[in-house]
Amino acid sequence: MPEVRSLMEKEKLESLTDVEHYFLHRMTDSVRTLGKTTIGWDEVVTANLPANNTLVMWWRHDQPQLLEQGLSRGYRTILCPRIPLYFDFVQHESHTSGRKWDGAFAPIESVYEFPSLRLTGGISFGSPLVMGIQANVWTEVIHKKEKFQFMLFPRIAALAEAAWCNDAVKEFRHFDRRMEKMNALYEKNGITFFDYKNPEISPEIKGPEK
């Protein structure tokens, strides 16, 4: 775009990454002026935004070095990696309506087990800079309420326990047993959910193609 090229010449920016970082710094200045805190995806780490006024959302599970880099620089961080906390990824190997990158998907077991040292590159959830965990749902192929619920339930229950349960007592087999009551609660309230215990009785709800 001519406007971008003009900006690059004016500000002596050498790449589009430099343009992105320029934009982030300008926006952060405005946010700070308003007395607010900037929250951004983990790209803000490489942009070197001020750590005392920036909260990072670590989403690139395949780049744990960004998580380590951000924490080492003092950035408060929310853990929300694509695998396993993007709930637009399919939750069973037979599902096809949703994301599945290089065969990777997000079954309920992996949601419950997060955070783990294996999935965070050795970073402990106990770090004082880790503010918590968060699931994300992108809706490009989620076309109706029932599909949204199907992708959300019951993984949201696993997310809640992973976030709040003490690791010393967290055990998937116990959670799995309690989910029998949760599934009954979903049914009672008319919630469409994936029965991971019996996949054959809750067939995948197909969404539109992109």
- In the block, tokens 């419950």 appear at 112
Domains of the chain, residue spans:
80-201
Alpha-carbon dihedral sign for residues 108, 120, 63, 45: positive
Residue ranges of E strands in the chain: 38-41, 54-58, 76-79, 130-133
Query: pTM, whole model, 2 decimals?
Result: 0.88
List the chain pLDDT tens, one digit each, 210 residues: 788 888 888 888 888 888 888 899 999 999 999 999 999 999 999 999 999 999 999 999 989 899 999 999 999 999 999 999 999 999 999 999 989 887 889 999 999 998 875 556 666 667 889 999 999 999 987 989 999 999 999 999 999 999 988 777 889 999 999 999 999 999 999 999 999 999 999 999 987 765
- Asked if 4 and 23 touch (Cβ cutoff 8 Å), the reply is no
According to the model, what pLDDT value does residue 101 have? 83
100 φ/ψ sector (left φ>0, alpha ψ -120 to 50, else beta): beta
- Show the CA angle centred on residue 127, arms to residues 123 and 133, nearest 5°: 80
According to the model, what pLDDT value does residue 117 have? 59
Buried b (16+ CB within 10 A) or exposed e, 144-163: eeebbbbbbbbbbbbbeebe
According to the model, what pLDDT value does residue 115 have? 82
- In the block, tokens 């300008």 appear at 26
According to the model, what pLDDT value does residue 124 have? 61
